[in-house]
């Protein structure tokens, strides 16, 4: 499954590629589909939690953060389809932590994996536009291949980010049905149209993806441990980011039960179950390969 991925130069200016050739496949959805086909359907989280730093024998400071994060990049960037840095764990160290995050994004993409920045941003107007400029604009130091967004100020509030992503050929993953117990109160609430709030998010994402091939760049987040999500994902025509594989309890077999016919478009994420094999980069790489191969065998 593994092999040489796109070089940093090949990733380059996503917007120029999307605009210059005009092909939908040049956008994030096409690149993700290609990466999942070539490297398997796995995204590994880079979550430098203080407890993990301690388990690796590293100090909970910017030096330890950098060693942890760049070891993950060394182990994973050439092996998996995508990595998902959790922005909050880098932000906790201030400017030095953000500098490490910039390196993680650049060096991961140089190694060939896509970067899904887990930032869960959501706001309105000019503030949302500023988030879009930070995470989705060509040339921005924190620009990733995709970023997670929260739609709970209204899906329409995300328009600046959705438009910026489309122009730059990048992607977004919008929170739809998350696995935290508190989320159900909002996400399962019924709208005036009779659908759940989570289904309304999925349907709005599907509208943005209409006509894209092989799939659009507006994905949704649905937890792998939610059981029956109650969602119709068949018309999404976009990727589904599914946290919860491994330490949180979800297995490869669970993915089929949760996502059914939409399983081919699911990008499961695993963090602690892989990261606990550090600090040895070879052991980390082997752990990720085992998880990936289990996912491939079970599809």
Domain 29-297 = CATH 3.20.20.70: yes
Q: How many residues does the chain have?
A: 299
84 given a catalytic annotation: no
Within 8 A by CB and 6+ apart from 138, the residues are: 13, 14, 15, 16, 168
Distance CA 95, CA 86 (A): 16
Q: What pLDDT is recorded for position 246?
A: 77
The per-residue pLDDT string of the chain (299 residues; one tens digit each, 9 = 90 and over) reads 333 333 333 334 444 333 333 343 479 999 999 999 999 999 999 999 999 999 999 999 999 999 999 999 999 999 999 999 999 999 999 999 999 999 999 999 999 999 999 999 999 999 999 999 999 999 999 999 999 999 999 999 999 999 999 999 999 999 999 999 899 999 999 999 999 999 999 999 999 999 999 999 999 999 998 888 889 999 999 999 999 887 677 888 888 888 999 999 999 999 999 999 999 999 999 999 999 999 998 87
Q: What pLDDT is recorded for position 258?
A: 86
Q: What pLDDT is recorded for position 8?
A: 34
Nearest CA among 102, 126, 117 for reference residue 149 = 117
Q: What pLDDT is recorded for position 4?
A: 33
Within 8 A by CB and 6+ apart from 70, the residues are: 100, 103, 104, 107
* DSSP notation for 34-63: HHHHHH-S-EEEE---HHHHHHTT--SSHH
Runs of H (alpha helix) within the chain: 8-11, 14-21, 28-39, 50-55, 62-76, 87-91, 94-111, 125-135, 159-168, 183-187, 197-209, 252-259, 272-275, 281-297
Can you say whether residue 138 is alpha, beta or left, with left for phi > 0 and alpha for psi between -120 and 50 degrees?
beta
Q: What pLDDT is recorded for position 10?
A: 38
Distance CA 153, CA 125 (A): 11
Tokens found for residue 178: 């998350």
Measured CA distances, 196 to 9, 79, 148, 234, 243 (Å): 43, 38, 21, 16, 21
Q: What pLDDT is recorded for position 12?
A: 42
Q: What pLDDT is recorded for position 248?
A: 72
Nearest CA among 260, 256, 217 for reference residue 14 = 217
Q: Are strands 43-46 and 82-85 parallel, antiparallel or unpaired?
A: parallel
Can you say whether residue 149 is alpha, beta or left, with left for phi > 0 and alpha for psi between -120 and 50 degrees?
beta
* DSSP notation for 150-162: --TT-GGGGHHHH
Distance CA 232, CA 276 (A): 35
Annotated catalytic residue: which of 49, 96, 103, 120? 120
Nearest CA among 7, 13, 240 for reference residue 145 = 13
- Rg value, the chain, Cα: 18
């Amino acid at each position: 499954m593994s092999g040489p991925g796109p070089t940093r130069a090949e990733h380059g200016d996503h917007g120029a590629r999307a605009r210059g050739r005009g092909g939908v496949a040049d956008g994030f959805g096409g690149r993700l589909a290609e990466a999942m086909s070539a490297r398997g359907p796995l995204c590994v989280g880079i979550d430098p939690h203080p407890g993990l730093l301690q388990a690796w024998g590293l100090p909970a400071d910017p030096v330890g953060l950098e060693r942890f994060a760049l070891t993950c990049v060394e182990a994973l960037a050439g092996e998996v389809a995508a990595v998902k840095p959790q922005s909050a764990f880098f932000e906790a160290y201030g400017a030095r932590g953000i500098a490490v995050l910039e390196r993680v994004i650049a060096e991961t993409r140089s190694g060939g994996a896509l970067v899904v920045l887990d930032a869960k941003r959501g706001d309105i107007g000019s503030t949302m536009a500023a988030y879009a400029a930070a995470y989705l604009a060509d040339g921005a130091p924190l620009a990733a291949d995709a970023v997670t967004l929260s739609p709970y100020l209204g899906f329409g509030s995300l328009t600046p980010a959705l438009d910026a992503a489309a122009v730059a050929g990048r992607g977004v993953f919008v929170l739809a049905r998350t696995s935290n117990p508190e989320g159900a109160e909002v996400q399962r609430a019924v709208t005036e149209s009779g659908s759940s709030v989570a289904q309304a998010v999925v349907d709005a994402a599907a509208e943005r993806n209409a006509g894209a091939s092989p799939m659009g760049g507006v994905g949704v987040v649905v937890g792998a441990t939610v059981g029956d999500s109650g969602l119709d994902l068949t018309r999404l025509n976009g990727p589904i980011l599914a946290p919860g594989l491994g330490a949180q309890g979800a297995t490869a077999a669970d993915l089929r039960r949760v996502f059914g016919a939409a399983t081919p478009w699911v990008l499961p994420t695993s963090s602690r179950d892989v990261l606990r094999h550090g600090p040895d980069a070879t052991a980390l790489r082997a752990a990720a390969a085992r998880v990936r191969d289990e996912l491939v065998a079970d599809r």
